Structure 1
Amino acid sequence: MTKSADHEQASPSFSLPAYVFEGPAQVAIRTRTNDQPRYVDTRLSVWTWYDGGKAMKIDWAALHLNPNLMQIAKAFVAYALEKYAPVTAFKASGVFGRLSESDISAKFPWTRQEVITTISTWANFRESTIFFRTFYRWALNRGISGFDKGTYIALKEIKTIRLDPYERIFLSQSGLALDEEIRLLKRIEGGIPEKDWSEAQLNMLLHLSFELGPRSIQLHSLDIADFEFVESADHQKYYTLWLPMAKKVGQRRPERRPRKITTRLGEKISQHVSEIQRRFGGDDCLPLFVNRRGKRLSVQEIGLGLKHELNEAGIDKANQVTMLLRHHLGQGLADQGTPADMIAELLGHNSTVAARAYVTATPNIARIKEKALGKSPSYKRIMRSLLTGEIVQRRNTVSERAVRGVIDTQYIGDIGACALPVHTHCPYNPVYACYTCKKFHPFADGRHEQVREALQREAQRFIDIAEQAGDLIHNRPLAQHQTTILAVSATIERCRQHTEDAADGTV
């Protein structure tokens, strides 16, 4: 047995050199504003830092950890505070709270089996699992005793429940309905209370959220200095808000980007600035949004205020405030045909993934086009002659003729029947080729929407790969998918019309 194998199998009763955290007495953190503490005092038993007006703490004395491990954990949290945003650092520190409740909290070093057995029980706590891997890799890269590469590789094999951050956008329409938008606009334009400046501030927050869709943390971070206006020679005023970006990776201080706002909103902000400077100390007042004591509004206070405004407008959606208005803006931009990269820029995203989610989840333009085409007699004749065979009822079809296949790793059936002899092998790929084949007879109530959604997901994957390869223009598989998607959309419209005609007794 080799020395490494002996180390792996044996109980870790041997002693390691004691690790001592020798970091700075004060760790500089990534602050969003100038009026919050910029350092964490590492000499205290409770480390405290702030973000969004909320205090975040880690109480080392309350954690039941091996003393050697405690020192290593402090060094990692100090590293996280310097590297990550305050909220991310707080999430990273949470892994030690979960670790202190485990069977290996008082032990160190650990065997590989002890680590894997413990972390495998965290499958439902994806965030903790990821941050523990990050912690282990950090210690391994620094050559800290008690961490080995084999254990880290085994940690990477542990599967967690994957959460898609944009799943809600893909699966549901998360914006405002038309009647809700009308009520919201009435609330925005309903007049500002002259005597109650705090009510006027809430109205302005609602107006700003509707126009630009910022996150709560962006509203919290706004300063008076971020608002500016220019007056032209003909006395026209143009207003700009330098909006701090909330999720830009690797930046020490939030980047601010100029956003043009409407004259009405600009006038509201201008009046508001004059009022709060009069009330709370002139030029010494830095925040744009303050509470009744003149302190910067916290993220929680902003959320409660906007929730109140939405309720007053007759809009009551659980757990949705700024994100509701943010999704509504992204959805509206997508409906107007705005490119994904422009949506990403306007909403301050790091990539176009979320913007593509809006485009995929809001096919309103496609519906309008399909409806218009579906009413055209010429279009109907063309579709009948170029695409599929006659529409049939599922109940009138023998199961042997039913078409089944796989798209985007998803099994799909119950879409139609094939007119080829039962034992004839079709030379084309089922489902993909069916919607442009005269031998295919779509079911009137077939799952054609499911086919279209699967094709759209697969086409997006082609787009992503083609973008990386720089071959987005001359991409035959992508062009084929787009043609098939159009054919499926046409079939959906034909089936809908067929069902309506059957209900009217015309077929």
Structure 2
Amino acid sequence: MRVTYSVQSILEQELTLEQECYISKLWLPQKIQVQTDSDFDTTEVSTTQPMWVFYIGGERVSFNFSDVSSPHLLKLIKYCCTNLISTGRVLRSTEFTTIKECLLSVKLTFIEYQKKLELHSSNDNDRYFFDLKSLTRLLCQLEFPGFSLDNLEDLAFIPIPNHFNPFLKYQDIENSFPSALKSQISHSIVEKSKNVDAISTSELHDIVILGLCYFTGMRQIQLAKLAVNSFSIDTKNDTSELIRYSLEVPYAKQTKITSEKIKIALPMELGLIINEYIKRNSLEPNDRFIQFNTNLSSQINNALQRSLLSIQSNETQSAVAKREHILPRLTVVDFRHNVGHSLAMSGASADEIAYIMGHSSTIAAAHYIMATPELAMIKSKALGNNPVWQNMVNLLITGYTVEQSQWTGKTVSGTLGGELHIRVGGCDRVNEECHLAKVRSCYGCFYFRPFSELRKHRAVLRCVDKELIEIIDISEKSGNSRNPAIATLANIKLEVQMVINRLKGGGVDEESERQPK
């Protein structure tokens, strides 16, 4: 069992000069806001206060910083809390206590945190493990002195306790790479591919790195080895204008799996962006694809961070520019783990995963596969029974709701499930043309402004359910139970359900919404 004790009794640790210099360069926003869908919650506090108090869902959550004497440790604790909250999570008092006592008392090196995690991994009833792992992951992503990006690989293989609350396991995966962010990245790459001429050269460089990391999960060393002739067009149809691109992925290390070079397919949208990048930079077939200076790691991860900022809404970008919001930091390793889990969830074998990810053995691939069946069940249960969690994860993906009578911009109508859905919301997109399927793709777009009429969104949800049942039935009868269309429709259903939950949380009169207008 975990031993609890008062943080006030802890003797604060000494920081190294390098750690103090790192902390001094960090900046905190003046205010911090917890994302919630209720008008009755207290969600905003000043970061300069010695006590942060939130009222979330009828619960009072308080973070007490007044007993921390070291100004550097105080700033670090506040920064870590702010960074975690900025991902859309709601920190509870127990998680704050873990963050506080660890940063105050545990020597700030990955080795010490790894030992502590391994100690608690054998305790099935210990939530402390998941809270500590979240903090350790953040310190690695920030490259805090004593922690490195390479440590994220080691973090993934620490055994996870068989907790009595299995939802924590799903939450652990979701916190490392939120589903909402995956949808946001894929949508943004498709959107930018439709108008590549308008992308600046610097942004083009960053979005190419984002796309390659997201779709391939390559290591930094593999990105450095890429040549222009690694990319090729396999097929092209002039009638349909469909193009199939592929990439020969260089090895990160000597492989025992296959002697052939790894060749994987790339989405057409990413291929169009890569073509523009090659053309814009006048690259020859034998040229290095990505030019880099002395520090490849920093260049690639900074490019990822700039890309993640560029795909955010104008409101979020403005808040970051004004230092009112901290954007979560993702690294190359986070993208690799996402690809590994996605392959395992799709039924790939250990050899196939090792082949795609460039592993020298199947050990790492087996780790993903062993975690997958249980994780799939946990995820299904969590998404089906926890609408509050859906709100927390997806709140920022869709824009604010509006009244149809007050909306003067473009409206969204389209067919789904064999039915026509008229004016389900507004579109705040600046560009006139939208390449996405109307209604079907709108609920996962932050330009979408859903109208506050529950009956319309329930009609959309009913049609999504209809399509989902049909595609599952067809997939099972054809022997393709892992049809990717199932996951796509499941995500659409989640996005529509999220809007409905928000409208219900906002106090929309459900009885009146049942009557057609």
TM class by shorter-chain length? 0.3 to 0.5
Structure ranking higher on relative contact order (CA contacts 8 Å, 6+ apart): 2
What's the TM-score, normalizing by structure 1? 0.35
